[in-house]
Structure 1
Amino acid sequence: MIFGVGTDICDVRRIQASLTRHGERFAKKILSDAELATWQRRSTRHGDRGLRYLATRFSAKEAFSKAIGLGMTLPMTWRRCEIASLPSGQPVIILHGELKTWFAERGLSAHLSVTDETDYAASFCVVEK
């Protein structure tokens, strides 16, 4: 049974403006420790790849927060929701702390799709019970 559906489109230029304005502090607010390490590696090698990585994570977390019906209110936080990839490249959601407990107590599972182009990142999330 579908519990919720969420979608989000993010303007990569808006993410760039936030990075310019707030520096790495912005990325640290949005990304888990593992995501932050990946973002730093990608940004060092090729800045545009790092920027799009950050935009896709932002978009995916927004879509997930909509699918669970919480938005960005507790127990949902940016850093408690981590977007990782299986070896195949399929994106998966890894939850931490109170959000992981909240999600498990409801017997939920999530399916996620992310994509990006030069100026936009988009995500779609379906949460099942």
Structure 2
Amino acid sequence: MIYGIGNDICDLRRIGETLARRGDRFAEKVLGPQEIKVFQARRARVESRGIAYLATRFSAKESFSKAIGMGMRMPMTWRDCEILNEASGKPFIRLHGELAEWFASRGLQAHVSVSDETDYVATFVVVEQPRLAAKENP
């Protein structure tokens, strides 16, 4: 059963301007421990790739916060929600701390899709609650 759906669109230029204004503090506020490593590596190779990575993570976290229905308030925090990639490139969501506990206690599962173009990033998250579906359909 679908618990929630969230989507977001983000202007890459806005993220680039914010990063230029606030420096690495902005990336450190938004990105979790694994994400920051990827961001730094991509940015070191090509600045625009780092900005695109930061924008996709920012947008996906916005989508996730909408899908769980709480926005950016506890236990949802930027750094406790990481958008990582499997070896195949498929994105997935890894949660930490209180957010992970809150999410697991409800038996939720999340699915994320990330798309980026020259100027924009779009993300979509579906959160489902499989246990409820199983109880309703014996």
Provide TM-score, normalisation by structure 1. Answer: 0.99
Distance 1:59 1:90 in 2: 16
Distance 2:16 2:84 in 1: 22
CA deviation profile, 1:23-81 (whole Å, cap 9, x unmatched):
00000000001111110000000111101000000000000000000100000000000
Q: Which ranges of 4 or more aligned residues in structure 1 deviate by more than 6 Å?
A: none
Give the Å deviation of 1:118. Answer: 1.0
Unaligned 5+ segments in structure 1 are none
Distance 1:118 1:29 in 2: 24
Distance 1:43 1:85 in 2: 17
Aligned twin of 2:93: 93
Are positions 1:57 and 2:48 aligned together? no
Distance 1:87 1:19 in 2: 28
Distance 1:105 1:82 in 2: 19
Are positions 1:28 and 2:57 aligned together? no
Distance 1:82 1:44 in 2: 21
Distance 1:69 1:116 in 2: 24
Q: Map 1:1-129 to 2 at 5 A.
A: 1-129=1-129
Greater Rg by CA: 2
Distance 1:44 1:84 in 2: 19
Alignment: residue pair count = 129
Unaligned 5+ segments in structure 2 are 130-138
